[in-house]
Structure 1
Amino acid sequence: MDNEASVTDGLLRLTNWYNSATGHAFHTFPLDFSNPVISNTSSVPSFSTTFVFAIVGNYDFYDTSELISSDGLAFVLSSTKELFGASETPGYLGLVNSSTNGNWSNHLLAIELDTVENFEFGDIDDNHIGVDVNSLISNASKTAGYYTSDGEFHNLSLSSGEPMQVWVDYDSKRTILNVTIAPYYLSSAKPHRPLLSVRYDLSSVLTNNAAYAGFSSATGAFASRHYILGSSFQLNGEAAELDYSALSFKTIQDELAQLVPPPSFTNSEDYKAILYAVLLPTALGIAMVLSAITVKVLMKRMSKSKEAKMEWEREYGPPSFTYKDLLAATSGFKDKMLLGRGGFGSVFKGALPHSKQTIAVKLVSPESKQGMKEFIAEIAILGHLRHRNLVQLLGYCRHKKQLLLVYDYMPNGSLNCYLHTQHQNTTNLFWAQRFHIIKGIASGLFYLHEDWEQVIIHRDIKTSNVLLDSEMNARLGDFGLARSHDHGADAHTTRVAGTWGYIAPELARLGKATKATDMFAFGVLMMEVACGRRPIWMNTDNGEPLALGDWVLAAWQGGSITDAVDPRLDDYVEEEIELVLKLGLLCSHPSPNARPCMRLVMQYLQKDAHLPSDLDPNSLLNIGLVQDEMHDQHAMSCPTTVITDLSKGR
């Protein structure tokens, strides 16, 4: 350790409450990078490390609603642990200075956790993670956050003081460096999808067959503290899991509790004397004038608000529930009643106080503009639909800024939970139930596409939006992204929406949702129900994403499409499961013109029609490949269009 670095209360503290300071902490002896266990394309062996860190910032003088930090910290592999030439100038993280930045002779790899946007380094924002090689200009960087198993991106604030865990993995065979981050409370549940994945041969960086592993940090204009709570490192293998029970959080929690926002005014006696003697009479006069103006403005706003309320109710109907009743039904929206939480709000279970009817209440986040759009879409579309395979919207409520939607309660939860949260050796869904669920979803979609007075494009068909009632009947729900248009007319959607893995190639490319894009998602869902696998998952053999369409198609090309069936199923009817898998591939065909309409799908499932006789693997090649490439490209460029599972709330 050097400069500000020290060990305090079981924590490695890199910096203290000082401005323009640095701190380094390196393992005492260098690691031997000279002897890879296997023959690799890189002369540097694979390595894996994980660590838990916390950055305790201070209040912004101008905005006391958030903590800020000047500079951040970095995990470092360096040819030397003597970084005395490192600059304390903000932005350099205690690694290099203006004259050495970018020099190939640095032999330095850093994973930066940066809390300042330095324009001279091309930083993307003031809260990002970057991969740096010999320079503070990152080879790649991303806003700090993590992906859940369904592909949804969650932001993290690096300077919040909350402990977070980072994983850094280098695959020397493929020369790929992956960086992953998650909140520490997820324990060792490392996200499947890394935040950053960079192809770089580190043999050009770590050239001396040895490197020091450690951490570096710096502060600039604002004082802050940087902590490492625990770490683990392994060459040619997976880093050992941390002992979470041994990590010390009390010191950090105490520091956060002691932070005090800066005062917004002075309390000096001189100031008070001037105020009373000179300014107070003037201020009272101004206050009277302003009060009169304020009353007039408020009365005008109240009048406009009343008009807006009347206009709202004329268009969408009067509220069906009072806020008081919904508050009582959900026990005050207590956590014990929480069913799930998502980007646009939370869903609670409740029982109406008079009728005792069990309901589900979605409390839409008032700060979300997208949440308001979804709120209106649910009322305008789902409020008019009546079908046994659609979730029934019972009504809505508006209370001040609170937006609430009330649905029939589905006691058996989402289809996603049954497919993906059960133990691999057991399942609560037999094939007969799964086939019944598929036909139920198809029936609901047929109603939306063909049988209602307008065409409804759902735009977010997935297993977490399929709920199961008390008799295990499928109910398609969550119409917040749905759009309607007249029969024979074109849809007017131009914004990509949906969930990674279910998005049709033409939707990712053109942004236009149609009945065919819904069909693509339904095709993926059918295969998911039959195979018990998510639409896209990480291949354990090579770490690459694998699409469900590829998996099923490969099984068919291998001679038996039923090889892709969920191994937990042992009671399926072979004719039915072959129909579902082949129909799933056909519905997820890369060409929208090749996908069948919902009316024809219903005939196939009810065995009133037969699949095309010329349907074979060769006619369906590259379904998964196209799907995977387009989804991956879209998820990178438009992360905000990925929508969460209803199992976690919307």
Structure 2
Amino acid sequence: MMRDIRFRSVLSIIVLRALVKHVVANFTLGANGTSFQCTDRGNLWCFGNASASPAGLMLTPIDRAIMAYEYYLWTAGMALSTTQIPLQKSESDPTRTSISFSTSFRFIIEPSDPNYRGDGMAFVMLSEGRQGFSGGSFGVFDRRGHHIARTLAIEFDTHENWDLGDENNNHVGVDVQDVNSKLARSAWEVSIDLAGSYSIYSWIDYNSSTQNLEVRISSDNAKPSLPFIVYPLNLFDVFHPDELVYVGFSAANGLCFNFYTVHDWTFSFVSDPEAIVQVSPPILPALPPEPGGGGKVQVALIAGVSLEFSFEQLCIATDQFGEESKLGQGAFGAVYRGQLPDTGQLVAVKRLNPVSNQGLKGFLAEVSIISQIRHRNIVKLLGWCKDRGNLLLVYELMPNGSLDKALFHPANPKSVLPWKLRFKIISGSADALYYLHEGWRQQVIHRDFKSSNIMLDQDFNAMLGDFGLARMVDHSQCPATTQIAGTFGYIAPEVAGSGRFTDKADVYAFGAVALVIACGRPAFLFKAPVEQIFLVDWVWEKLDQESLFDVVDPRLGEEFDAKEMKLLLLLGLLCSHPNAGSRPTMREVVEILGGRVALPLVPSSKPQPHYLSFVASDPHQSI
């Protein structure tokens, strides 16, 4: 059903060239000009789920009284101005010089759930008025991210698609002819959450003399003096000089959804392109503001860690939090490689996103848990910093990065993580998760167990990290949380169905990681054939076809232990059983991997789920 909705939306391709107004004009739409009008005689061509009202231009379904996921999944909307834009200054211009232009707009992106954000929106320039696919294609590109028409798009991306090379779930990018951005930058660097449910202002300027495209963003209506992105661009490398182009907006949702609204939009030709100020992007992100409230609670939680760092120390250690030092971007902040100036010790510094309330809650959750637990397969917290509004955590550095990078982005592209190390890593990960579930005084539900959260030390021992979504409960209570968390491909079906998260959901995620290690591909791969998008489903299908080893990572060749491989594949399926009650505990998983207990019988085909039978009725909640 979900796929049908997407295909019905995508296959409705509309060609507008015969109907469009061939009028050269500047325009202002929204609160400060003519209202947005999606009608035959209006100023916009709207298709897919786009619509207009006095409140603004809505790009996806707007009836918030209907909160059923089926109403929003795989939706896309596009709105293009009925005024086409000529790219050449004059048809008689012998130099064939392109126009310069400026456009500005205000938009709001509101996620249905802060942990599950839709894919995002884009300002677009198109050679043809044709709608693309939903999800990560933004309603602009085909299902594999390639152009349908000649395309220049500025994307405001709010969902991290690993297979599309996204840096994080909060970035701005320049897309030329396909969805893989030519240049992208995290919006966290200027303290902006694109899906923060508040107004975002954007300015896009193109100077034909310097052939530079500049993008600016701000949380207020004062245009920044410094551009956020500068991209060298010749418009005639994208479009034909003699064609007219459509300009407008497109937005899309996949398995998660946002509400997208454009409130104001101005587009104009620039008579004197030299009037556009040309400056370089800032090197350092702005210092975050002081988080509101909760200061005493923060200090109390962090006080369990003995070593306090100053912000100056960590600035020096990370080379002013420069891009060259950045190791990655998580849900609640960026992580930087650093070297402590006094001792020379290599560390990983996690810096909280300053504008995210959800990030603050995740930071506090991480501190409260990881400062208390000690295990050989869990990352060690070395210290903390609360200084001038900055909240940072300092960890021991894992020299071999994450399991995700070791499998898919090794330092040497030709290197393949050997089977012996893979089995060692999954065994250590099982030990860590077993300790969280049963080995400490309170049960800890991780809620985001995945390959990118498993770090690797110098000897490739697994070190579980990122406790920003974790929750603690007493062993005597029902271990259920009510806020959906996690990452696609690792989310247990009963969580999506009921919103309740237990230790058995962690077991499901462990099963997905086991299959990722054995198969050498991500748990969720949007570009894959339909039957292979979710790794767990694909492995079940191959087991049913009695061709289980077809899923083995081909890069391994025959360099693996067949008995261990079969064990891990079947254990991965058992842990990812559709019914939570049929999954083993992590204690049993550890014993199976250690050869102390035989693997229970695994069904020969994927069982039918019965999620509701597992939903706990105990009213106790986690803290």
Is TM > 0.5 for Structure 1 vs Structure 2?
A: yes
CA distance in 1, matches of 2:542, 2:412: 20
> Deviations along 1:51-88, whole A, 9 cap, x unmatched?
xxxxxxxxxxxxxxxxxxxxxxxx9624434568x998
Task: Quote how far apart the aligned CAs of 1:602 are.
Answer: 0.8
What pairs up with 1:88-487 in 2 under 5 angstroms? 90=29, 100=41, 118-119=54-55, 130-131=77-78, 155=120, 158=123, 178-180=139-141, 182=155, 184-185=173-174, 190=179, 215-216=245-246, 224-225=266-267, 255=276, 308=296, 312=300, 316=304, 320-421=308-409, 426-487=414-475
Shift of the 461–96 alpha-carbon distance from structure 1 to 2, 3 Å rule, reads closer
Query: Which residue is 1:52 aligned to?
Result: none
Note the C-alpha offset of 1:333. Answer: 2.1
Quote the residue 1:608 is aligned against. 596
Cα deviation, residue 512, structure 1:
1.7
1:526 to partner: Cα distance: 0.4
5+ residue gaps, structure 2, are 1-6, 63-74, 83-106, 142-152, 156-171, 182-242, 250-261, 280-289, 612-623
After superposition, the C-alpha distances for 1:349-381 in whole angstroms (9 at most, x for unaligned) are 111122211111111122211121122112110
Amino acid corresponding to residue 559 of structure 1 in structure 2? E
Q: The residue matched to 2:338 in structure 1 has which SS?
A: strand
Cα deviation, residue 133, structure 1: 11
TM-score normalized with structure 1 length: 0.58
Identity %: 32
Pairing of 1:25-36 with structure 2 (within 5 A) = none
Partners of 1:217 and 1:408 in 2: how far apart?
Answer: 49
Residue 485 of structure 1 aligns to a residue whose secondary structure is strand
User: Which residue pairs with 1:552 in the alignment?
Assistant: 539
Q: Is the 8 A contact 2:365 2:471 kept in 1?
A: yes
Instruction: Report the Cα distance in structure 2 between the residues aligned to 1:305 and 1:574, rounded to whole angstroms.
Output: 56
Change (3 A) 1:597 1:350: same
Letter in 2 for 1:352: L
The Cα of 1:461 is off from its aligned counterpart by 0.5
Q: Deviations over 1:77-132 (max 9, x none)?
A: 24434568x99894699997867469xxx9x7758999x86448766699x97246
* CA deviation after TM superposition for structure 1 residue 346, in Å: 1.6
The answer to whether the aligner puts 1:591 opposite 2:586 as a matched pair is no
Say if 2:515 is the partner of 1:568. no
Hey, what's the Cα distance between the residues in 2 that align with 1:309 and 1:218?
46
Per-residue CA deviations over 1:143-194 (Å, capped at 9, x if unaligned) read 7799xxx9975655749xxx999995669xxxx99534645546565269xx
Contact 2:491 2:509 in 1 (8 A): yes
| Structure 2 equivalent of residue 77 of structure 1 | 16
Shift of 1:315: 6.1
- The 1:96/1:574 distance shift into structure 2, 3 A limit, reads same
Partner Cα separation in structure 1 for residue 398 and residue 127 of structure 2: 36
- Rate the CA distance shift 1:439–1:600 in 2: closer, same or farther, 3 A: same
- Whether the aligned pair in 2 keeps the contact of 1:129 and 1:144 (CA below 8 Å) is no
Contact 1:77 1:110 in 2 (8 A): no
Q: Is contact 2:49–2:59 with CA below 8 Å preserved after alignment?
A: no
Task: Please say if residues 365 and 402 of structure 1, whose CA atoms lie closer than 8 Å, have aligned partners that are also in contact.
Answer: no
Partners of 2:353 and 2:321 in 1: CA distance: 13
Q: Displacement, 1:501?
A: 1.4
SS of 1:494 mapped into structure 2: coil
CA spacing shift, 1:571–1:152, aligned 2, 3 Å: farther
Deviations 1:197-239 (A, max 9, x none): xxxxxxxxxxxxxxxx954469999783368xxxxxxxxxxxx
Bigger share in helix: 1
Q: Output the CA distance in 1 between the equivalents of 2:119 and 2:322.
A: 24
Distance 1:544 1:191, change over 3 A: farther
Deviation at residue 607 of structure 1 after TM alignment = 1.1
Kindly name which structure, 1 or 2, has the bigger radius of gyration based on alpha carbons: 1
Secondary structure (helix, strand or coil) at the match of 1:413 reads coil
Which position in structure 1 is the counterpart of 2:184? none
Distance 1:573 1:221, change over 3 A: closer
Q: In the alignment, does 2:510 pair up with 1:522?
A: yes
Q: What amino acid is the match of 2:276?
A: E
- Separation in structure 2 between the aligned mates of residue 489 and residue 560 of structure 1, nearest angstrom: 42
Q: Distance between the aligned counterparts of 2:129 and 2:369, measured in 1?
A: 44
With the length of structure 2 as denominator, give the TM-score of the two structures. Answer: 0.60
Partners of 2:381 and 2:271 lie apart in 1 by: 46
2:276 aligned counterpart, secondary structure: helix
Amino acid corresponding to residue 179 of structure 2 in structure 1: K
Evaluate the alpha carbon distance shift between residue 316 and residue 189 of structure 1 in structure 2; reply closer, same or farther with a 3 A threshold.
Answer: farther
For 1:480 and 1:317, the matched residues in 2 are separated by: 17
Output one character per residue of 1:483-525: Cα deviation in whole Å (capped at 9) or x when no partner: 1111131235211111111111111122222110000100011
Is residue 170–residue 177 contact of structure 1 (8 Å, CA) maintained in 2?
Answer: yes
Query: Among residues 577, 585, 595, which one is paired with 2:565 in the alignment?
Result: 577
Q: Is the contact between residue 537 and residue 547 of structure 1 (CA under 8 Å) also seen in structure 2?
A: yes
1:250 to 1:112, Cα distance in 2 relative to 1, 3 A: farther
Higher normalized contact order (CA 8 Å, seq sep 6+, divided by chain length): 1
Secondary structure of 2:533's aligned partner: strand
Task: Kindly indicate whether the alpha-carbon contact (under 8 Å) linking 1:412 and 1:469 is maintained by their aligned counterparts in 2.
Answer: yes
| 1:280 corresponding residue in structure 2 | none
Quick one: distance in 1 between partners of 2:426 and 2:409?
19
The separation in 1 between residues aligned to 2:518 and 2:535, in whole angstroms, is 11
Q: Deviations over 1:524-567 (max 9, x none)?
A: 110011001111223555x6772111211222222231111000
Equivalent of 1:488, from 476, 479, 487? Answer: 476
Which position in structure 1 is the counterpart of 2:486?
Answer: 498
1:432 CA displacement: 0.7
Structure 1 regions of 5+ residues with no counterpart? 1-41, 49-74, 136-141, 193-212, 228-248, 259-300, 627-650
1:232-269 Cα distance to aligned partner (Å, 9 max, x none): xxxxxxxxxxxxxxxxx9998963659xxxxxxxxxxx
Q: Distance in 2 between matches of 1:145 and 1:215?
A: 29
Distance of 2:429 and 2:441 partners within structure 1: 19
User: Are the structure 2 counterparts of residues 391 and 313 from structure 1 closer, same or farther at C-alpha, using a change threshold of 3 Å?
Assistant: closer
Cα separation, partners in 2 of 1:386 and 1:118, compared to 1, 3 Å: same
Post-superposition Cα deviations, 1:610-633, rounded to whole Å, max 9, x if no partner, equal 122x42323x3468x99xxxxxxx
Equivalent residue, structure 1, for 2:85? none
SS at match of 1:437: helix
Inter-partner Cα distance in structure 1 for 2:539 and 2:363: 37
In structure 2, what is the Cα distance between the partners aligned to 1:549 and 1:250? 57
Residues 412, 472 of structure 1: 8 Å contact kept: yes
What is the rounded CA distance, in whole Å, between the counterparts of 1:447 and 1:343 in structure 2?
24
> 3-state DSSP class of the match of 1:563?
helix
When residues 177 and 360 of structure 1 are mapped into structure 2, their CA distance, relative to the original with a 3 A threshold, is: closer
Q: Distance in 1 between matches of 2:55 and 2:404?
A: 44
